[in-house]
Amino acid sequence: MPDGHFLLSESSWEGAQMWKSVHPCRAFCLVRTKNAHDGIQH
């Protein structure tokens, strides 16, 4: 399975929330992606 990051763009956080509800196993990854968009380094 693809990692899924390609589904997210700079302005797709609402879509990411929907996608997270469908794929809860990716919630952690999506949270990290949102934080990266907010300029938080990991």
Q: What is the mean pLDDT of the chain?
A: 56
Q: Packing angle between helix 13-22 and helix 27-37, nearest 10 degrees?
A: 170
What confidence tens digit (pLDDT) does each residue in 13-41 have?
Answer: 666 666 666 555 555 565 666 665 555 44
Helix or strand or coil: residue 42?
coil
pTM: 0.20
Q: Which two tokens stand for residue 1?
A: 């399975």
3-state DSSP of 1-41: CCCCHHHCCCCCHHHHHHHHHHCHHHHHHHHHHHHHHCCCC
Q: Which sequence spans correspond to the domains of the chain?
A: 10-37
- Write down the pLDDT at residue 38: 56
Q: Which two tokens stand for residue 27?
A: 């919630």
